[in-house]
Amino acid sequence: MNDQNFFSIDRLVEFGMSVAIAQQMVQSMNQSMRNMFVPGSIQSMPQPVPSIYYVVIDGQQTGPLNEAELTRLIMQKQVNKNTMAWMPGMTAWQPIEQVPAILKVIALTPPPLPAN
C-alpha cells in the first residue's frame, strides 16, 4: 500500500485522532461559552449566596451580619484582627485574621477619611 494514499492505515489513524482532538476542542469551547457572562445577553449571572458572619463584641455574640454590617463595624473600629468570628462552614470560633472570607471584607473596606 502507498503511504500517500488517504486510505492507508497511518492516514486513517491520523484522521481519526484529528477528529477526536477537534471534538474535544469544540466541547471545551462550548463549555467555556456556556459559563461565560456576556453583558446584555439573555443569560444572567448566578447570584452569589450572601455570606453571614458572627463576631464577638464586648463578650457578646453579634450577628448574623451581612458584609455591609460587618464593614460598618470595621469602620467604627468595633471589630479588629483579634475579634473572634464565626461563619457557616467553620467548626469553631477563630480570630478574624485567620478567616480568609472576613479578611477579604477588611481588604475592601475603605480607610477613614483624613482629618482636615
Q: Cell triple for residue 90?
A: 467553620
Residue 51: CB atoms within 10 Å: 17
Distance, CA of 5 to CA of 36 (rounded, Å): 43
Secondary-structure class of domain 53-108 per CATH = alpha beta
- pLDDT tens figures, 8-31: 777 777 877 888 888 888 888 878
Domain boundaries, the chain: 53-108
Q: Cell triple for residue 69?
A: 454590617
Q: What Cα–Cα distance (Å) separates residue 79 from each residue in 10, 104, 116?
A: 70, 14, 25
- pLDDT tens figures, 70-86: 989 988 889 988 999 99
Between 116 and 91, the higher pLDDT residue:
91
